[in-house]
Amino acid sequence: MKSIHSLVYIISFSSILVGCSPKITTTAKKPESTHLALGNPSNAQTNLSSPDNYLIVKPQYALSYNRSKGHANWVSWELSKSWLGSIDRQNDFRPDETLPSSWHKVTPNEYTNSGFDRGHLCPSADRTSTAANNSSTFLMTNMIPQAPELNRESWAFLEEFCRELVGQKHKLFIVAGTYGTGGEGSKGTLSQLDNTVNVPSRIYKIITILPENGTMNDINADTPVIAVDFPNKNSAVQNTGWLRYITTVSAIEKKTGFAFFSNAPTSIQNALQTKRFDYQSTPLNVDSKCRVHNGNSLYIGKSGGCYYINAKGNKTYVERELCNCQ
């Protein structure tokens, strides 16, 4: 009888211990990043079995890397006033050592004398709050072979426009990427650099514009979205502004096979995908740099007025035909 009582006591005490033990569960943890707030366009994964859609999440941006092409499929980042400061451009182009050790790591030298710029997807000037943040944009996983006329003019003008929007108390979510093969640089047409880096034929950017303190909950069917799709071709983009290359997100999705705004409700996602940015009717109040003429940067206003800023900081209007950038 004593043995039975002892057995009951042992079983009861064991049950109490089991009941008090914490539950151990194993769940797959998804990468969390403000730069992927609107979604992961290609469902990239940090997995060696996905070398051409390999997810890299950095504090400064997130990207899908394509090992076969030697550059990113896309780079995604948040742009707000907290990322902007007065840090100088670091210019420390270098391989990205966070790539798997067995993979080829593209070096800056592979672009040398190619006729193509080492073009940033996430711009250096979008990350000027600290030296480390700026330096991160010079990793070669953030670079693409870009036609010099595109990199230094209309693409750069759009980058400046984005930062001006931030100065007007907006927060942006931006995705920039590429598709296709074969571009035209300053030395002619190429499909590859150094037999390792694909030269894309098209370069796109999608910009979602929210209030300065906006969150995902503030996105709706009326949220301003700018989608542009540029040819990576020197002769095609000379003296043109980014307004000429406005398109829809849906058109870019058809070309790339990616899905943008996947974290938004379906009805909002559908509305934003088909929206085409209208510069003249937009509520945004920022004029855009259009082209350079006689050493002056020309700006275009909503009404189509064309002007440059003179030495006294005032607007000097010129013939509208000079701002035929649309």
Q: Do residues 242 and 288 touch, judged by C-beta distance below 8 A?
A: yes
109 closest CA partner among 97, 99, 95, 119? 95
State how far the alpha carbon of 282 is from the alpha carbons of 217, 270, 278, 289, in Å: 21, 20, 6, 16
**How far, in Å, CA of 99 to CA of 55, rounded?**
10
Q: Do residues 261 and 38 touch, judged by C-beta distance below 8 A?
A: yes
Catalytic residue among 5, 120, 170, 293: 120
Q: Do residues 325 and 290 touch, judged by C-beta distance below 8 A?
A: yes
Q: What sign does the dihedral 91-75-110-96 (CA atoms) show?
A: positive
SS3 of 198-224: the string is ECCCEEEEEEEEEECCCCHHHCCCCCC
Q: Count other Cβ atoms within 10 Å, centred on residue 253.
A: 17
Q: What sign does the dihedral 89-91-97-102 (CA atoms) show?
A: positive
**How far, in Å, CA of 71 to CA of 65, rounded?**
6
Residue 120 among the catalytic residues: yes
Active-site residue numbers?
A: 120
